[in-house]
Amino acid sequence: MTQMWRCTGVRWGEGGPVLGWEGGRRSGLERGKRVAFGVLAEGVRTCVGARGHGCPVRAEVPGRSTGARCEECARLDRAHSVAADGVADDPRPYRVYLAWFGPGMVKVGITAAERGSARLLEQGAVCFSWLGRGPLMAARRTEELLRAALRVPDRIPYADKRAVRAVLPPAEERAAETAQLHARALALANWPESLERLPFRAVDHAGVFGLDGLPGADGVVSELAAGCALSGTVLAAAGPDLHLAAGGGVLVLDTRLMTGWELTAADRDEVTVPLRKPRAVRAAQTQDGLF
């Protein structure tokens, strides 16, 4: 009988990225690791549920969905999300951060202080700095202030992040762009009094992700499908993305596409997953009102 596993996605910790599986099993994703899996020919992708609970109807979900949730479970999960303002009375301290993903691609966000830099690793932030620390609502108001006053987004599309990973400027340039925005942010008036402003300190993740010398991508996995397979060697891991040497080129796999499928080990080296062309590298754009 073929043994099958259900993937729970990439988790980042002090030991680097690991791929999680239902039941608690974990697979390290260090550079040079072979990744090889397939989807059964009769496989169906089902909802992963919400807030640690399985989907009551095991609803079928589209292969291209990175959330792998049906509408009802997605609504429940979002309702308890800090990012969606679903939580207002969390007593934990929060931090406001600036995250740099590429030239002209800087975003602002918040994360629970106890999580450290895990949120930044999960998003694939190449460089970041903390901005402030305080209660949740003060952190949220500061995030909104920066978005409005400096026209900084709270999200950067993953397609844009992937497009620039192989052509990043040197670390000092990444830090300088982040530092300039940090200084402008601290100079703004109307910060909540309960939020402590934090000095600039650049944290660079290029080495952690394995981006130094990373070749450009030849393709991006668009979805998994019944009967498909993928085998490759890890070149880099950034956020949920794996950059793999596979099929004679470099492919990017968003591991969120693996969730909801029952997967089996692949014995042969093959690439039969649906692919799309990577987004072209866009010219660096200056964010209005920043530099």
More confident residue, 77 or 59: 59
Q: Say how far apart CA 68 and CA 260 lie, in whole Å.
A: 6
Q: Say how far apart CA 87 and CA 90 lie, in whole Å.
A: 6
Q: How do residues 96-109 score in pLDDT, each as one tens digit?
A: 999 999 999 999 99
Element (H, E) at 30: none
pLDDT average, residue stretch 245-264: 96
> DSSP string spanning 161-228?
HHHHGGGPPPHHHHHHHHHHHHHHHHT-S---TTSEE-----EE-HHHHT-TTPPPPSEEE----TT-
pLDDT average, residue stretch 85-90: 62
More confident residue, 221 or 51: 221
Element (H, E) at 142: helix 136-150
Q: Say how far apart CA 188 and CA 195 lie, in whole Å.
A: 13
Exposed (0-12), middle (13-18) or buried (19+): which is 104, by Cβ within 10 Å? middle
**Contact between 167 and 281 (Cβ < 8 Å):** yes
> DSSP string spanning 61-77?
--TT-SS---HHHHHHH
Residues 6+ apart with CB under 8 A from 235: 31, 210, 214, 215, 243, 244, 245, 250
Q: Say how far apart CA 244 and CA 176 lie, in whole Å.
A: 30
pLDDT average, residue stretch 182-208: 95
Please count the other Cβ atoms lying within 10 Å of the Cβ belonging to residue 25: 11
pLDDT of residue 282: 64
pLDDT average, residue stretch 111-140: 96
Amino acid residing at 44: V
pLDDT average, residue stretch 129-158: 93
Q: Say how far apart CA 254 and CA 66 lie, in whole Å.
A: 8
pLDDT band at residue 83 using 50, 70 and 90 as cut-offs: low
pLDDT band at residue 1 using 50, 70 and 90 as cut-offs: low
Q: Of 62, 51, 49, nearest to 6 (Cα)?
A: 49
Q: How do residues 13-37 score in pLDDT, each as one tens digit?
A: 878 999 999 888 999 999 999 999 9
- Give yes or no for residue 287 having a pLDDT over 80: no
Give me the count of residues in the chain. Answer: 291
Q: How do residues 214-249 score in pLDDT, each as one tens digit?
A: 999 999 999 999 999 999 999 999 999 999 999 999
Q: Say how far apart CA 132 and CA 97 lie, in whole Å.
A: 7
Predicted TM-score (pTM) of this structure: 0.91
Please count the other Cβ atoms lying within 10 Å of the Cβ belonging to residue 252: 24
Residues 6+ apart with CB under 8 A from 115: none
- Give yes or no for residue 80 having a pLDDT over 80: no
